[in-house]
Structure 1
Amino acid sequence: MDRIFLDANVLFSAAYREDSGLVHLWDLESVELVTSSYAVEEARRNLDTASQRERLVKLLEGVRVIPVEPLVEVPPDITLPEKDVPILRSAMASGCTHLLTGDVKHFGPYFGRVIGGVLVSRAAAYFKARE
């Protein structure tokens, strides 16, 4: 079973439009979706409308939310902005197999790489690998 950690931008994008392709993550079999309260708050803060925030709440019903940032060390060769460190820490500490993010600027150099047991990738790459 894959355990997938969803970055804030994945949550945001899934809730932003009703027809977002990312909502198919919630339809996958043998998958557990995980995120953190930190990621949820970031996604919520960036959504503009009440209907988008309502979609986020509905989507979160199918996601295990980690309430606090774990004190897991990020490997020293990984360079991320402070705002992204809690995302990687939570993915690592929660035993996730994958971290899905659309943050190409900060996580892009690590796409396809396993960090602390977690494969970092875009959602599109994850869907393609499951075909």
Structure 2
Amino acid sequence: MKLFLDANVIFTAAYSAHGLSRGLFRLAAAGKCALCTSAFAHEEAVRNIHNKAPEKLADLTVLMKQVDILPEPHPRWVIRAEQLPLAGKDAPVLAAALQGKVDIFVTGDRRDFGHLFGQVLKGVKILTPADALEAVTLL
């Protein structure tokens, strides 16, 4: 199962060794799933860690060794994502997940994605870290 991690999930995994987001990394290390993200989401996570918890940069660097960085999405994928019910700023991130043919888009962003939790958009299921953990462990 291929999981796309939004920036907030990467940030949270680096920030807390015991949270649900870090649990996704443990499952990936055990071979239960594959993790990926976009360069944009990765850069956002790095920027946020640098600004809010610079002491966690080393943890982020180690965790990112488990994450594939997907190519930036082709403009046609961004156009497709822009047609979905989400904020325009999130379209390129979701477009990278759609283009990458992931199974699950994992985000803790309730403000921008909360109305989409549990839905499948163009073959990609939008889940919280808790729901993604459950989906992977049920395999």
* Percentage of identical aligned residues: 33
In structure 2, what is the Cα distance between the partners aligned to 1:35 and 1:114? 18
1:59 alignment partner, one of 39, 59, 63:
63
Q: Which moved more, 1:103-112 or 1:14-23?
A: 14-23
2:3 equivalent in structure 1: 4
Q: Tell me if the contact between 1:75 and 1:116 (Cα under 8 Å) persists in the aligned partners.
A: no
The structure with more helix, counted as a fraction of residues: 2
Instruction: Indicate the SS of the match to 1:18.
Output: coil
Q: TM-score, normalised on structure 2?
A: 0.84
In structure 1, what is the Cα distance between the partners aligned to 2:64 and 2:38? 11
- Structure 1 residue 86, shift from structure 2 partner: 1.2
RMSD between aligned residues: 1.6
Q: Tell me if the contact between 1:100 and 1:120 (Cα under 8 Å) persists in the aligned partners.
A: yes
Q: TM-score, normalised on structure 1?
A: 0.89
1:81 equivalent in structure 2: 87
Task: Give the letter for the 1:84 counterpart.
Answer: D
1:109 equivalent in structure 2: 115
Q: Which runs of 4+ in 1 moved over 4 A?
A: none
The gaps in structure 2 that reach 5 residues or longer are none
Q: How many pairs were matched up? A: 129
1:46 alignment partner, one of 45, 48, 56:
48
Q: Tell me if the contact between 1:80 and 1:107 (Cα under 8 Å) persists in the aligned partners.
A: yes
Q: Find out whether 1:98 has 2:104 as its counterpart.
A: yes
In structure 1, what is the Cα distance between the partners aligned to 2:114 and 2:17? 26
2:129 alignment partner, one of 101, 123, 129:
123
In structure 2, what is the Cα distance between the partners aligned to 1:18 and 1:123? 14
2:32 alignment partner, one of 19, 30, 33:
30
